[in-house]
Amino acid sequence: MDIDIKRIPPAASYPLRQAVLRPHQRIDEMGWAGDEEPGAATFGAVERTNGTIVGVATVFPEAAPFDPAEAGVPSGAGKEAAAWRSRGMATSKQVQGQSIGSLVLKAVFDHVATEGGDLLWCNARVSAVGFYERAGFGT
């Protein structure tokens, strides 16, 4: 599959967020407060041939719900560590297992690094824990 990983408007991620993560909710409920935060970014895996978005993730600044030192952030950073949250990561069921999620997550990592982030965190579904662990997240 030929895809490009690029920034997309948050609303462009809503159909996939709904289909994969929240099928019980309406499309107008797919937006989250962090989508429009300064520095926030939504990334999409976009098929080159038809423009279909097959993978998405949003990242924005948000304090971690734990002490960043527990995740290896230098102790001097304390609660003021530049923490970022990844949210709304979804890959179309038809292309899961083809490394598309990993490519989208790399764009998230790159964005956080460019913005000077010290920590990237997320909440994960039990079925996705292995994916995040392979990407370097701790539990």
- The mean pLDDT of 10-29, rounded to a whole number, is 96
Tens of pLDDT, residue by residue over 108-122, are: 999 999 999 889 999
Alpha-carbon distance of 127 to 112, in angstroms, equals 25
Alpha-carbon distance of 121 to 138, in angstroms, equals 9
For 89, the 3-state DSSP assignment is strand
Tens of pLDDT, residue by residue over 45-62, are: 999 999 999 999 999 999
**Average model confidence (pLDDT) across the chain:** 90
Domain spans in the chain, listed from the N-terminal domain onward: 3-134
Alpha-carbon distance of 11 to 35, in angstroms, equals 9
What residue ranges in 92-132 does DSSP mark as E strands? 119-121
Alpha-carbon distance of 76 to 101, in angstroms, equals 33
Residue 126: what residue type?
A: V
Alpha-carbon distance of 120 to 98, in angstroms, equals 23
Please report, in angstroms and rounded to a whole number, the separation of the first and last CA atoms in the chain: 32
The confidence band for 15, taking pLDDT boundaries of 50, 70 and 90, is: very high
pLDDT at 99 over 80: yes
Please name the fold of domain 3-134.
Aminopeptidase (3.40.630)
What per-residue confidence (pLDDT) applies to 71?
76
Alpha-carbon distance of 95 to 31, in angstroms, equals 24
The confidence band for 81, taking pLDDT boundaries of 50, 70 and 90, is: low
> 8 φ, ψ to 5°?
-130, 160
60 forms beta bridges with 85
In this prediction the pTM is 0.90
The confidence band for 91, taking pLDDT boundaries of 50, 70 and 90, is: very high
